[in-house]
Amino acid sequence: MGTERPQTSGESELRLPGAELDVLACLWRLGKATARELRGALHDLRPMTHGSIGTLLNRLQVKGLVRKKKGNVGKAFIFQPTRQPATGYRQIAAGMLRRVFGGNSVAFVTALLETKPPTPEELEALRELIERLGKEQGR
């Protein structure tokens, strides 16, 4: 049996339990926040006690995914993600593509776009992406 070690921010895939991922994704959206602000922002998605948020933030900090600094007022700390969301999003999507869709990217994208149809602006960005990817493969 191998020994388990903590995930670090430089590893190839972001594997987090759902609650940790929800907190990290919320931090990506907010940029930085106190535990109280995170709790409020997550309330509709995942209601948690203040202690639970603190535990999850500590776990993310140990994994190198979040850093904290002392706020200007009171005892509150301000938490910030240590990596850009695009990197995390790609790693999460790659894991889901492999585990859930068996590597079938067309099925993955179809499920995604049928779940939340893109806006006209998003469709244009997708067209540009497909065109760029086609050119890169034709090198």
Three-class SS of 58-81: HHHHHCCCEEEEECCCCCCEEEEE
Q: How confident is the model at residue 13 (pLDDT cuts 50, 70, 90)?
A: low
Check if the beta carbon of residue 68 is closer than 8 Å to that of residue 60: no
pTM of the model: 0.68
pLDDT digits (tens, 9 = 90+) for 38-87: 999 999 999 999 999 999 999 999 999 999 999 887 788 999 999 888 87
Exposure class string for 3-17: b at 16+ Cβ within 10 A, else e: eeeeeeeeeeebebe
What is the per-residue pLDDT across 120-131, written as a single tens digit (0 to 9) for each? 999 999 999 999
